[in-house]
Amino acid sequence: MTSLPEHGHCENCGDPVPFGQHFCDDDCSKEYNTDIKEAKRLDNRFYIIMAAVLSAVAVAAALVKIYVL
């Protein structure tokens, strides 16, 4: 049985790369960074929307407590 040379895999596409490298080429690196930035943007949008919803619920609960009870 022959052993494979020490290697890693591209973080974007999974192709084999020499040990210590993270990406197989510049295109994969750019695509990976673009995907990471988009994921962060989506996370930030989610947090902002959830904060707005929770604030609205808190205000509604306070108004109900004041005017109804």
Say what the pLDDT of residue 2 is: 76
pLDDT for res 4: 79
pLDDT at residue 68, as a whole number: 84
**pLDDT computed for residue 1 by the predictor:** 63
Residue range 6-53, pLDDT digits in tens: 999 999 999 999 999 999 999 999 999 999 999 999 999 999 999 999
CA dihedral 34, 6, 20, 36 (to 10 degrees): 20
CA–CA gap between residue 20 and residue 11 (Å, rounded): 12
Kindly give the residue spans of alpha helices, DSSP state H, lying in the chain.
26-67
Q: Is the model's pLDDT at 56 over the cut of 90?
A: yes
Query: Is the pTM above the cut of 0.85?
Result: no
Q: Where are the domains of the chain?
A: 7-67
CB-count burial class (<10 Å; 0-12, 13-18, 19+) for 11: middle
